Amino acid sequence: MDETKSELHFVFMNYDPEYERLLSNKTKRGAHELDLYLSRKHDEVLGKYLRPGTYNKTLSLVIVDGFAVQITETQANVLRSAKEVRIVEKDQELA
């Protein structure tokens, strides 16, 4: 396996009471606050564990506390060991 090849991975976060609180606010303002919170939170996790410029976050997921990111398998393993992260899975295309 090529350890330098970046591939899309999905990262799902551990339980976060602030996420749950913001998710329960069904107003437009609440949805906007949740979007901002998750984007910032996910960026902070990536910045904490990976070198800037070595990954590309493609989106934050709101329905679940998670995000998609282009990373190497080595970087995926680093995120798997992060206390904030529940699971990291490589995207698998279905035929």
Give the whole-angstrom CA distance, residue 30 versus residue 22. 6
Q: What is the pLDDT of residue 85?
A: 98
Q: What is the pLDDT of residue 94?
A: 74
Residue 93, pLDDT above cutoff 90: no
Q: What is the pLDDT of residue 55?
A: 97
Give the whole-angstrom CA distance, residue 84 versus residue 28. 27
Summarize pLDDT for 44-72 with one digit per residue, the tens: 999 999 999 999 999 999 999 999 999 99
Summarize pLDDT for 13-25 with one digit per residue, the tens: 999 999 999 999 9
Q: What is the pLDDT of residue 63?
A: 92
- pTM to 2 decimal places: 0.90
Q: What is the pLDDT of residue 95?
A: 66
Q: What is the pLDDT of residue 21?
A: 95
Tell me whether residue 86 is exposed, middle or buried, using C-beta atoms within 10 angstroms of its C-beta: 0 to 12, 13 to 18, 19 or more. middle
